[in-house]
Amino acid sequence: MRVTMIGAGYVGLVSGACFADFGHTVTCVDTHEGKIAALKRGEIPIFEPGLDDLVASNVKAERLFFTTSLAEGVADAEAVFIAVGTPSRRGDGHADLSYVHQAARDIASAMTGYTVIVTKSTVPVGTGDEVERIIRETRPDAEFSVVSNPEFLREGAAIIDFKRPDRIVVGTDEERAKEVMTNLYRPLFLNQSPLLFTSRRTAELIKYAANAFLATKITFINEISDLCEKVGGNVQDVARGIGLDNRIGSKFLHAGPGYGGSCFPKDTLALIKTAQDYDAPIRIVETVVSVNDQRKRAMARKVITALGGSVRGKTVGVLGLTFKPNTDDMRDAPSIAIITALQDAGATIRAHDPEGVEQAKMVLSNVDYVDSPYQAADGADALVIVTEWDAFRALDLKRIQSMMAQPVVVDLRNIYRPEEMASLGFRYSSVGRGLAD
Ligand code: NAD
C-alpha cells in the first residue's frame, strides 16, 4: 500500500520506517528542512535504538522516501497519517492543535481519489470531527474518511513496541476505512496483536485514558515511597508485593523522581482540560499532576538535605538528563526542574548524559556538560543519578568514591544497594528505601 506520514519525529519516523519494513511504500513528509535533508543524507535526526539500520535498509529497498513537499507525498497515497506534535498550549494546558489543523488543510488540497486520513498524533476527543470538517470545507467533493489510530509506542523501545504492540486501536465507523486499516496492519495481527475497532471519539479517549492511568500508577508508587521513607519500608519490595497481583501488574511501579517526557505531562493536562470543559472533572488526574509537579522540587530538596541543608557554592554531578534511558528526548525531563532548583539554591552543576546533551543544551543553561560519569563525579560534593542509563548501573564505585570531594550519592532511580554503598564509604540516599535521615 502507499502510505504517507506527515511529521517525521519520534512517532512519524518510527511508524513510517516500520510500515515500510512491512512492505508498504512510505513517504515521510516534514516541514523541517534540516530534518529531511539529514534523512536524505542517511542521518537519523533523533536517537532511537535500531532506527538507523531500519531506515537505511528500507531506503535501500526503495520503500521509504523523505520530502518536504506535502503535495508530492500525499497525491497518490491510500492512507495519510498525521503524526505532528500536539504540545501543551501555552497558558492553559489544552493541546495545541495548530499543527494538526494545518496538516489537515494541506492534505485536503493535495489528496486524490479515496484517501483515509489517520490521526496518529495524540489529540483531544472531537479532533477527528474537526479534521473532517476542515477537509470537507476545502474539498466538498472529495472521497475520504478520517480515522483515529493513537500510538502507544515508548521512546527507547519504539521499534519493538510498534512491531509488537499490545493492541492496535482504530477509531472509525466506516467499513471502507476499516478495510484499509486492516490491510495496513495485517502483518501485525498475523503476529496476534489485537486490532480493536471503536468509534472515533472512543479511540481518541483511549489514548488519554491510558496515559493518565500510567501516570497515576507512577504517582501512586511515588507517594507510597514517601511513606516508606517515613515508616522504614522498602518501596521496591512493596512494588513487587503488589505487582505480583495480576489485577495490579508489575509495570510502572518504579518509584523515582516523578514522571516526565514528551507525553505524560502534556496528555494528563489536556485530559484534565477536556474533562473540565465537559463538566466531568477527573479529580484523580488533577491530583496526580499536582503531586508530580511538587515531586521534582522535593527531589532537589533531597539533594540539599544529603549535603547537610545547603548546596551554595557546592558542585553537584548529575548522571542522566533525558526523561528516560535510550532516548535523546529532553521534553519535560525531571532533570530540568531538579537542576534548575539546585542552581537556584546556589549549586554548580556538572552533568553527563550518553545521548541527551545536545537537546539539554537548548533547555538548561550554566551547566558544565562532561563526557563521562567519572568526569561528573570528579571533585563533586554530591553525585545525583537522575536517569537509569545502563552505563550507570555498573560504575567503578571505588574510583568514584576516591574522586569526589564528598562521598555523597543521591540515587533517584534506586539502581544501587544501600548496604553496598555504605560499605564503600558513601553517604547514600535513594527513593523509598528505609528511614529518611
Ligand atoms: P515530534 O515533535 O518529534 O515530531 C513532530 C514532527 O512534525 C516534527 O518533526 C515537525 O517538524 C513536524 N511537523 C509539524 N507540523 C507539520 C506539518 N504541517 N507538516 C509536516 N510536518 C510537520 O513529536 P512526536 O514525539 O513524534 O509526537 C507526535 C505525536 O505523537 C504527538 O501528538 C504525541 O503526543 C504523540 N505520541 C508521541 C509518543 C512519543 O513517545 N514521542 C508516543 C505516542 C504518541
Domains (range + CATH), the chain = 2-197 (3.40.50.720), 212-429 (3.40.50.720)
Q: Write the CB contacts of 110 (distance below 8 Å, at least 6 apart in sequence).
A: 70, 71, 73, 74, 75
Q: Whose CA is nearest to atom 22 of ligand 1?
A: 7
Tell me if 8 CB under 6 Å of ligand 1.
Answer: yes
Kindly give the number of the ligand 1 atom that is closest to the alpha carbon of 86: 32
Which amino acid makes up residue 168? I
Alpha helices in 381-417 (DSSP H): 397-403
Q: How far apart are CA 116 and CA 68, in angstroms?
A: 21
- 129 phi, psi to nearest 5 deg: -60, -40
Burial of 359 (0-12, 13-18, 19+ CB in 10 A): buried
In this prediction, residue 191 carries a pLDDT of 72
Q: How far is Cα of residue 298 from the mean position of the Cα atoms in its chain? A: 22
Q: Whose CA is nearest to atom 4 of ligand 1?
A: 9
In this prediction, residue 91 carries a pLDDT of 82
- One pLDDT digit (tens) per residue for the chain, 437 residues: 999 999 999 999 999 999 999 999 999 999 999 999 999 999 999 999 999 999 999 999 999 999 999 999 999 999 999 999 999 998 899 999 999 999 999 999 999 999 999 999 999 999 999 999 999 999 999 999 999 999 999 999 999 999 999 999 999 999 999 999 999 999 987 778 899 999 999 999 999 999 999 999 999 999 999 999 999 999 999 999 999 999 999 999 999 999 999 999 999 999 999 999 999 999 999 999 999 999 999 999 999 999 999 999 999 999 999 999 999 999 999 999 999 999 999 999 999 999 999 999 999 999 999 999 999 999 999 999 999 999 999 999 999 999 999 999 999 999 999 999 999 999 999 999 975 44
Residues recognised as catalytic: 263
Q: Whose CA is nearest to atom 10 of ligand 1?
A: 7
**Residue reference for cell 515508616:** 231
Kindly give the number of the ligand 1 atom that is closest to the alpha carbon of 13: 26
Determine how many CB atoms are found less than 10 A away from the CB of residue 283.
9
Length of the chain, in residues: 437
Q: Whose CA is nearest to atom 12 of ligand 1?
A: 7
CB 367 within 8 A of CB 386: no
CB 412 within 8 A of CB 259: no
Kindly give the number of the ligand 1 atom that is closest to the alpha carbon of 121: 32
Alpha helices in 248-372 (DSSP H): 264-277, 283-306, 334-344, 357-363
Tell me if 95 CB under 6 Å of ligand 1.
Answer: no
Tell me if 262 CB under 6 Å of ligand 1.
Answer: yes
Distance 331 CA to ligand 1 centre (A): 12
DSSP letters spanning 177-195 = HHHHHHHHHHHHHHTT--E
Tell me if 295 CB under 6 Å of ligand 1.
Answer: no
ipTM field: 0.99
Kindly give the number of the ligand 1 atom that is closest to the alpha carbon of 45: 9
Distance 33 CA to ligand 1 centre (A): 15
SS (H, E, C) 12-62: HHHHHHHHHHCCCEEEEECCCHHHHHHHHCCCCCCCCCCHHHHHHHHHHCC
**Residue reference for cell 529518611:** 436
Q: How far apart are CA 244 and CA 236, in angstroms?
A: 12
Distance 84 CA to ligand 1 centre (A): 4
Q: How far is Cα of residue 365 from the mean position of the Cα atoms in its chain? A: 22
User: Of 4, 6, 10, 119, which is best to mutate to test ligand 1, by the most ligand atoms within 8 angstroms of its C-beta?
Assistant: 10
Q: Whose CA is nearest to atom 34 of ligand 1?
A: 122
User: Of 47, 262, 322, which is best to mutate to test ligand 1, by the most ligand atoms within 8 angstroms of its C-beta?
Assistant: 262
Q: Whose CA is nearest to atom 14 of ligand 1?
A: 84
Tell me if 83 CB under 6 Å of ligand 1.
Answer: yes
Q: How far apart are CA 400 and CA 375, in angstroms?
A: 9
Which amino acid makes up residue 248? I
Closest CA to 280 of 229, 208, 375, 228: 208
Kindly give the number of the ligand 1 atom that is closest to the alpha carbon of 84: 7
Closest CA to 421 of 289, 333, 306: 306
